[in-house]
Amino acid sequence: MISNPEALWAKILKGKYFPNTSYWKASNHGAKSWTWDSILKVRDILIKAVQWQLFDGNISIWNQPWCPNWNSIHLYIKDEALDHVFPIKVNELWLNNPRRWNQSLLESIFCSDFVNQIMQVPLSQTDGPDLLIWKPNRKGVWSAQSAYKLIHSEEIEKRARNSHRFQKKDESVHSVIFQASAAQIAQYEAYEVGVSEISLEKWNA
């Protein structure tokens, strides 16, 4: 879903669980399959490790990881801007020739601290599709191995923080989550190398 959103299985999940938003903003409420539930369980970890590298800026301002604090972007909207028609795509927030942030527009929508954060986001002068960068990898490329390592390290840290409270219950819950996470990463890897096939009956169950 992260590295190949055009894959059949990814399209099926999007159509079923988050047709009008991104994976990063998909609701975790309601009935869901084991597969989708597993994907949601690792999202809070993965979301810290990705960010869009902006080229054409043809991604949503409101539901994609393109800037710091994007996940709470609505909290930074000025009260006086609430009755405005907001831009939709990131490229509506910049000027061209050369490509640069439209600071006056940003200041009319967002509070100053958030504007300063956006102004620090680099803009490429090269045309092309935006690229989702996987920060744990030096080359910025997602892999099942690096995702597994990230999830594993996060689980270790979480267990260490919570070891003094509800130890037995905590270990049981995290064990279930981690097993689901590891299984899902293995599925990702299988899809990447094309060694497994998707059963439509399974996804629509």
Stretch 144-156: mean pLDDT, rounded? 80
pLDDT of residue 35: 87
pLDDT of residue 202: 36
70 and 22 fall within a common domain: no
Of 77, 106, 129, the last residue of a domain is 129
Structural domain of 83: 55-129
Q: Is residue 134 part of a domain?
A: no
- Look at the chain and count its residues: 205
* 8-17, 93-102, 192-201: least confidently modelled range: 192-201
Q: Is residue 135 part of a domain?
A: no
75 and 125 fall within a common domain: yes
Instruction: Sort strands 131-134 and 50-53 into parallel, antiparallel or unpaired.
Output: antiparallel
Q: Is the pLDDT of residue 198 over 80?
A: no
Q: State how far the Cα of 56 lies from the Cα of 124, in Å rounded to an integer.
A: 8
109 and 166 fall within a common domain: no
Stretch 88-117: mean pLDDT, rounded? 97
Q: Is residue 120 part of a domain?
A: yes
Q: Which is higher by pLDDT, 202 or 76?
A: 76
76 and 118 fall within a common domain: yes
35 and 68 fall within a common domain: no
Of 101, 129, 157, the last residue of a domain is 129
How many domains in the chain? 2
Q: Is residue 28 part of a domain?
A: yes
Helix (H) or strand (E) holding 109, with range, is: helix 103-109
163 and 202 fall within a common domain: yes
71 and 117 fall within a common domain: yes
pLDDT digits (tens, 9 = 90+) for 38-87: 888 888 878 888 899 999 999 999 999 999 999 999 999 999 998 889 99
62 and 120 fall within a common domain: yes
Of 129, 163, 180, the last residue of a domain is 129
Q: Is the pLDDT of residue 123 over 90?
A: yes
123 and 146 fall within a common domain: no
Q: State how far the Cα of 122 lies from the Cα of 126, in Å rounded to an integer.
A: 12
106 and 167 fall within a common domain: no
The mean of the pLDDT values for the chain is 81
